[in-house]
Structures are given as structure tokens and as C-alpha cells.
Amino acid sequence: MKLIIGLGNYDEQYTNTRHNAGFAVVTAFASAHNMDWQPKDKFKADIAETTLGGEKVIVVKPRTYYNLSGDAALAVKQFYKIDNANILVVHDELALPFGTLRTRIGGSDAGNNGLKSIIATVGPDVARVRIGIANDLLERQPAADFVLGRFTADEQSKMPDIKKHALELISVFIAGDFAHTTKNV
């Protein structure tokens, strides 16, 4: 069983913001596999489930705010008894340039409060797909304002390709062949 967690803020006002890149990717993944979202209050999340290649896959969009994502992650992990080796977190990454996708297993939170919450509740040894969001606007505003800002028109036009490559990385994780990689889209 694999658990895929997309990080983002649940409220409608955050749709298409940089901080919701994780939500955008897991939403595209669920859509590509004809998965239906079900609100699950006991998990503080929306959940979609399917079976791919004989592997049960649970996709999660926490309904907590981004910085409390670990609450939902822990609830789902404990209910389904999922080992950390079978958990993938998909999130935006301020330390990477826009269009960069980087995978890793474990590591620090690098200042990402959603990851900090997941590490505090679930542990640091989960797999990650990091979606680079940094651009030159970051230098001109506080980081919190930047991540809650919307993608530029040029960035928005590139998001379908970024999502496509991120979905490939999720498929690799599900297949059990996940490794550290960096890809510039």
C-alpha cells in the first residue's frame, strides 16, 4: 500500500498559488486515474483510493492548513498501518528554481513548515517530490507572501508539463523504483 500526500491550503482562495503546487499535482494524479475524492473528517483530509499494478494507492489532500499537514498524514498512516517507506509527500520547494523537480528520501524540512509538521508527526524518512517555485519575485517580497501568491502567466503555462513529469515520478514511487533525481522542466 502506498500513501501519496499533496501539501497545500484547502481554502478556495489558495487555488493556483505556489504553496498549492502539491495539491495541484495530486489532483492531476487522481484525475489521470479516474479517482474520486471523498471527504474524511476523521483524517482531516480528502482521500482518493485506487489500485495500480496490484498496489493499493491512497492519495491525500489535508484539510488542515499547510503548516499542520502532519495531523492528517499521521491519521491516515496510523489507520492504514502504512510504513514510512511507503509514504510520498509532494510539495512546493522555495529553495529550487521554478520548473525544477527533485526527489529525495528523508532529510530536513529546509524551512518548509508543512514538511516540519510531517517530520514531527510521521518522521523524516518519507519520500518527497519537491516542486521548485522560486523566481526573481522572491527577492522583492517576504517568503510568506511569495508562496501564497499566484503563479505568473508564464509559469501557469508551464504547469501542465511540470505536472506531467511529477506524475511520472509518483508512478515510479508506486512501482518501488524511487531514487534521488533532479529534473528541469
- The grid cell for 101 is 523537480
Distance (Å, whole) CA 154 – CA 15: 17
Q: Which of 19, 91, 165, 180 is catalytic?
A: 19
Query: DSSP letter string over 136-164?
Result: GGGGGS-HHHHHTSBPPHHHHHHHHHHHH
Cβ atoms of 14 and 148 within 8 Å: the answer is yes
- Catalytic-residue membership of 33: no
Beta-carbon neighbour count of residue 93 at 10 Å? 23
Distance (Å, whole) CA 72 – CA 117: 10
> Minimal CA–CA distance to 78: which of 49, 108, 99, 58?
58
Distance (Å, whole) CA 50 – CA 67: 27
In DSSP terms, 45 is beta-bridged to: 40, 62
Sign of the CA dihedral with 36 first, then 39, 42, and 47 last:
positive
Distance (Å, whole) CA 65 – CA 82: 23
Would you please indicate which residues are annotated as catalytic (active-site) residues?
Answer: 19
